Amino acid sequence: MNRCLNGCLVFCRLVWHSFGVATCIIEGEDESHFPFEYNDKRYAMALWTMRNTAYKRAGRVIMTAAAYNLKQGLEYGAWNLTSALTTLGKNKVYVPSIKTSGRNDEEFADFVRQLVR
Protein backbone atom coordinates (compact mmCIF):
# COMPACT_ATOMS: atom_id res chain seq x y z
CA MET A 1 0.00 0.00 0.00
CA ASN A 2 1.35 3.43 -0.96
CA ARG A 3 0.11 6.86 0.04
CA CYS A 4 -0.28 9.56 -2.64
CA LEU A 5 0.74 13.15 -2.00
CA ASN A 6 -2.88 14.25 -1.79
CA GLY A 7 -3.74 11.63 0.82
CA CYS A 8 -5.39 8.94 -1.34
CA LEU A 9 -4.51 5.31 -0.82
CA VAL A 10 -3.18 3.22 -3.68
CA PHE A 11 -3.43 -0.54 -3.44
CA CYS A 12 -1.19 -2.59 -5.69
CA ARG A 13 -1.73 -6.23 -6.40
CA LEU A 14 0.74 -8.05 -8.61
CA VAL A 15 -0.69 -10.86 -10.66
CA TRP A 16 1.51 -13.33 -12.53
CA HIS A 17 0.18 -14.52 -15.88
CA SER A 18 2.22 -17.09 -17.72
CA PHE A 19 2.25 -16.95 -21.48
CA GLY A 20 4.36 -18.05 -24.39
CA VAL A 21 5.00 -16.77 -27.89
CA ALA A 22 6.09 -19.15 -30.65
CA THR A 23 7.16 -18.45 -34.21
CA CYS A 24 5.74 -21.33 -36.21
CA ILE A 25 6.67 -22.56 -39.67
CA ILE A 26 3.53 -23.99 -41.29
CA GLU A 27 3.37 -26.18 -44.39
CA GLY A 28 0.67 -25.52 -46.98
CA GLU A 29 -0.06 -25.44 -50.70
CA ASP A 30 -1.35 -22.00 -51.72
CA GLU A 31 1.52 -19.82 -53.01
CA SER A 32 -0.24 -16.62 -51.95
CA HIS A 33 -0.41 -17.74 -48.31
CA PHE A 34 2.71 -19.90 -48.16
CA PRO A 35 5.43 -17.81 -49.85
CA PHE A 36 8.55 -19.74 -48.79
CA GLU A 37 9.66 -22.83 -50.69
CA TYR A 38 11.94 -25.64 -49.58
CA ASN A 39 12.30 -29.04 -51.32
CA ASP A 40 9.17 -28.51 -53.44
CA LYS A 41 7.01 -27.75 -50.37
CA ARG A 42 5.51 -24.37 -49.42
CA TYR A 43 5.78 -22.77 -45.97
CA ALA A 44 4.58 -19.69 -44.10
CA MET A 45 5.50 -18.14 -40.77
CA ALA A 46 2.96 -17.47 -38.03
CA LEU A 47 3.21 -15.95 -34.58
CA TRP A 48 1.30 -17.91 -31.93
CA THR A 49 0.62 -16.30 -28.56
CA MET A 50 -0.36 -18.82 -25.90
CA ARG A 51 -1.85 -17.96 -22.54
CA ASN A 52 -4.06 -19.60 -19.97
CA THR A 53 -5.27 -23.00 -21.21
CA ALA A 54 -3.32 -22.83 -24.49
CA TYR A 55 -0.13 -22.22 -22.54
CA LYS A 56 -0.85 -25.08 -20.15
CA ARG A 57 -1.74 -27.52 -22.94
CA ALA A 58 0.83 -26.56 -25.60
CA GLY A 59 3.37 -24.08 -24.23
CA ARG A 60 4.54 -26.41 -21.48
CA VAL A 61 4.95 -29.27 -23.96
CA ILE A 62 7.12 -27.09 -26.19
CA MET A 63 9.22 -25.82 -23.29
CA THR A 64 9.72 -29.34 -21.95
CA ALA A 65 10.87 -30.52 -25.37
CA ALA A 66 13.28 -27.56 -25.57
CA ALA A 67 14.76 -28.50 -22.19
CA TYR A 68 15.09 -32.24 -22.76
CA ASN A 69 14.52 -33.63 -26.28
CA LEU A 70 15.49 -30.67 -28.46
CA LYS A 71 18.48 -29.19 -26.64
CA GLN A 72 20.06 -28.31 -30.01
CA GLY A 73 17.12 -26.01 -30.77
CA LEU A 74 13.40 -26.11 -31.43
CA GLU A 75 14.03 -25.83 -35.18
CA TYR A 76 14.95 -29.52 -35.09
CA GLY A 77 11.49 -30.52 -33.86
CA ALA A 78 8.47 -31.29 -36.04
CA TRP A 79 5.03 -30.98 -34.47
CA ASN A 80 1.40 -31.84 -35.21
CA LEU A 81 -0.96 -29.16 -33.90
CA THR A 82 -4.69 -29.81 -33.71
CA SER A 83 -7.53 -28.66 -31.51
CA ALA A 84 -9.83 -30.71 -29.32
CA LEU A 85 -13.20 -29.92 -27.80
CA THR A 86 -13.09 -30.27 -24.04
CA THR A 87 -15.16 -29.24 -21.05
CA LEU A 88 -13.70 -26.67 -18.65
CA GLY A 89 -16.08 -26.11 -15.79
CA LYS A 90 -19.50 -25.83 -17.41
CA ASN A 91 -18.14 -24.60 -20.75
CA LYS A 92 -17.13 -26.52 -23.83
CA VAL A 93 -14.07 -24.97 -25.44
CA TYR A 94 -11.51 -25.85 -28.09
CA VAL A 95 -8.01 -26.28 -26.73
CA PRO A 96 -4.76 -26.91 -28.61
CA SER A 97 -3.31 -30.38 -28.76
CA ILE A 98 0.32 -30.63 -29.80
CA LYS A 99 2.41 -33.74 -30.34
CA THR A 100 5.90 -34.29 -31.67
CA SER A 101 6.06 -35.84 -35.12
CA GLY A 102 9.73 -36.49 -35.61
CA ARG A 103 12.90 -34.49 -36.05
CA ASN A 104 13.99 -32.14 -38.79
CA ASP A 105 17.32 -32.69 -40.51
CA GLU A 106 20.16 -30.18 -40.44
CA GLU A 107 19.27 -28.70 -43.84
CA PHE A 108 15.67 -27.95 -42.86
CA ALA A 109 16.84 -26.54 -39.51
CA ASP A 110 19.13 -24.15 -41.45
CA PHE A 111 16.17 -23.14 -43.63
CA VAL A 112 14.11 -22.38 -40.52
CA ARG A 113 16.93 -20.35 -38.94
CA GLN A 114 17.19 -18.27 -42.14
CA LEU A 115 13.46 -17.51 -42.00
CA VAL A 116 13.29 -16.44 -38.37
CA ARG A 117 16.44 -14.35 -38.12
Q: What is the pLDDT along the chain (117 residues), one digit of tens a residue?
A: 445 555 555 566 667 778 999 999 999 999 999 999 999 999 999 999 999 999 999 999 999 999 999 999 999 999 999 999 999 999 999 999 999 999 999 999 999 999 988
Number of structural domains (the chain) is 1
109, containing H or E segment? helix 106-116
- Domain assignment of residue 93, yes or no: yes
d(CA 68, CA 55): 18
- Domain assignment of residue 8, yes or no: no
Q: b/e per residue, 26-58, with b = 16+ CB within 10 A?
A: eeeeeeeebebebeeebbbeeebebeeebbebb
- Domain assignment of residue 4, yes or no: no
Range of the domain at 107: 18-116
- Domain assignment of residue 11, yes or no: no
- Domain assignment of residue 12, yes or no: no
